[in-house]
A and B are shown apart, each in its own frame.
Chain A
Amino acid sequence: MDSAILAALQEARRAKRPVALATNLRSGAQKLIFKDGTEGPLCLDVDMIIGMQDMLARDESGTLQTGAGPVFVQVHNPPPRLIVVGAVHIADPLARMGVMAGYGVTLIDPRRAFATSQRFEEYAVSTDWPDDAMAELKPDTRSAIVTLTHDPKIDDPALDAALKSPAFYIGALGSRKTHAARLARLKELGHDDATLARIRGPVGLDIGALSPAEIAVSIVAQIVQARRKP
C-alpha cells in the first residue's frame, strides 16, 4: 500500500466516511472506493466500481474477479451503533458488551444523577431527553436501539423516534404486560401494527437470563442475530 493511499484511507476512516479499499491481488495496485468517487491508481471499469460501491453500501467485504485478476474489496465502514436508553443496572454491562462487539455505544438518560455516574467510561453518555438525543444521533440502517427504563416519559419518545428511523434493531425491556401497555400507547401516536412489530419485547433471546450481565448477553446476542442473520 503506497503512502498516498494509506493517508487517504486513514483520513476517511477518521472522518467516519465510508470507504472501501480495492486491491488487485496479483499486482498489489489499489484504489479507494467512496460512495461518490474513487481515488488511486488501480484501473477498474465503471461497472466494477459500481459493484464495489454496492458492496460498500451492504457492508460486505469480498473478492471480485476482473480481467486483470482477482480484486479484494475491503469495506471500512464506521462502527455500527448501539443506542441504549436508560442508565439502569443493565445499561452498564449492555453498553460495555456492545463496545466489545464492535459497536459505537451511546447511553441516553436525562436523569443526570443516573447518567453522570463514574461507572460509565467506555462509551458516550447523553443527558438530553431521548427525542432530542435521537434527533441528534439520527439512527440509520446500521443502528440498534434498546430502551431500558420502563418509564413511559423516557422510553416512549425514544421508541417513537426509533420506529420512525430505519434502525435494524429496536428492543424494549419490560414484561409482556408492560409491553402490551407500551404498544397501546405507541399506537395512539400513530404507529400501525406492522411498525410496532419491529420492537423486540420482551427484549433479548430467551436464554433464561437473570442477572444484569446475563440479560445484557441475551440482548447483545439478539442484536448480533438481527444484523448477521436477519
Chain B
Amino acid sequence: MTEDVLDQAEAWRREGRKVALATVVTTWGSSPRPVGSQLAVDGEGKFLGSVSGGCIEGAVIKEALAAIGDGKPRLLDFGVTNEQAWEVGLACGGKVQVFVEKLG
C-alpha cells in the first residue's frame, strides 16, 4: 500500500510536532526510489517513508534534524562517487539528490 508521507507529516504538524520533509529530486543510474519519493522526520528522529530503500536514510534523518533546528533547506548529494555515500551505504550503484526542508 502506498503510504502518504505528506498526509502523515501534516498530521504530525497538527499535533504540534516539529517536522522536516526529505524529497528525492534527482536520480542517476539504478537508484532504488523514484523522483518524488519522500521521507518525513519529526523532532525526535521518528520517521516515515523512504528515499532510498534504507541505504542513506540515516544520513538524511541527521540532516532533517539539523533543518528542524536552523530552519534552513538543504540539498544533499549521495552516490558512488561520494565517499561519504559509500560510508552510509548506497552500494546499489545509483546516485540521488535529496532536498530537505522544514515543514510549516
Contact = CB atoms under 8 A, between A and B. Distances in A.
Contacts, number: 43
A6 B1 contact: no
Interface residues of A, number: 21
B73 A61 contact: no
Main secondary structure of the interface of A (DSSP, over half): mixed
A106 B73 CA distance: 40
B73 A28 contact: yes
Contacts of B36: 61, 74-75
Contacts of A27: 73
Interface in A14-37: 23, 25-28
B99 A6 contact: no
B48 interface: no
Interface string B1-38: 11000110010010000000101011000000001100
Contact of B99 (A3, A10, A72): A72
Contacts of B7: 10
Contacts of A2: 104
Interface of A: 1-3, 6, 9-10, 13, 23, 25-28, 61-63, 72, 74-75, 99-100, 102
